[in-house]
Amino acid sequence: MESKKVIVAGIGTEVGKTIVSAILCEALKADYWKPVQAGDLENSDSITIGKLISNSETIIHPETYRLKTPMSPHVAAEIDGIQIAPKKLVPPATNNNLVIELAGGLMVPLTSDFLNIDWIDQAGLPVILVANYYLGSINHTLLSMEQLKGRSIPLIGIVFNGEKNRSSFDVIMHQTSSRCLLELPQEKEITKKTISEYARRIKL
């Protein structure tokens, strides 16, 4: 069977992409790759994934760019005296399934004229969108989905994260033809057991 490769994108930053990526890695026994890590290098998302998964098949591939400052990648790269080269952002070769986690939302710039969504286009892979319940999340979710639709980028579905807001959920589902893959409640602590439990529940 051909391996699955998926991109995990968020409607914004800090919406739960890394937790969802860990769940996907566990559910699919998939490898993990984050093309660009900006800031927190000693506690990176790659390190977090390694701490949360239980399976022995996942390989965590090194980031192409490790930037020191927790800012938009194009600015963080400038501070480090480099420029991100989109052609170097090539998914690692693997026979395994692969989960790719973006840095920030779809419209985050990697360079002044190349956005995350441009890279998704370049990669030619489907997306799982992570949404969080906060004031403005309906707008951000629908705008993100319109961007994907406008570029004919396949959307596998949405993962909703945080304490459920029924009215927000209902509007998003009514306005789109997408699937809800999983609803993640607000957890006090995320552990390997938590990840394994949700890996069994996610609808892929």
Residue positions annotated with a catalytic role: 34
Asked if 133 and 165 count as a contact pair (C-beta separation under 8 A), the reply is: yes
3-state secondary structure of 161: strand
CB atoms under 10 Å from CB of 145, counted, come to 23
Q: Which amino acid is at 82?
A: I
Cα 116 from chain centroid?
11
Q: Which tokens in the block code for residue 183? A: 């609803």
Among 57, 59, 81, 75, residue whose Cα is nearest residue 112: 75
Cα 63 from chain centroid?
14
Q: Which tokens in the block code for residue 8? A: 């995990």
Give residues with Cβ within 8 angstroms of 197, minimum separation 6: none
Helices (H), the chain: 17-28, 45-52, 73-79, 116-123, 137-150, 166-175, 192-201
